[in-house]
Amino acid sequence: MLDTTTQSDPAPPDERDTAAERREAADEPRGCLFALSQPPLMIFLAVIGGLLLMASLHDLLLL
């Protein structure tokens, strides 16, 4: 359920409003989904997946 109560006083302004600290906030570490969206990693995973697929089809169909 949503909290619909109103605050009586707003939060105080943030005192760390320098450009360097804003840049540090923008450089937060990104998660795993960002890493998976990188093209070199996706090409590598596609090659490994293709090799595994070819090996499994070889085992199933030719042996």
The predicted-structure confidence for 10-63, as pLDDT tens digits, reads as follows 666 666 556 656 666 566 676 677 777 788 888 999 999 999 999 999 999 988
* Prediction pTM value: 0.46
Alpha carbon distance 12, 17 (integer Å): 13
Alpha carbon distance 49, 29 (integer Å): 28
Encoded amino acid at 7, one letter: Q
Residues contacting 35, CB < 8 A, separation 6+: 41
Token output for 44: 């590598």
pLDDT on residue 20: 59
Structure-derived torsion over alpha carbons of residues 16, 32, 38, 54, reported in degrees to the nearest 10: 170
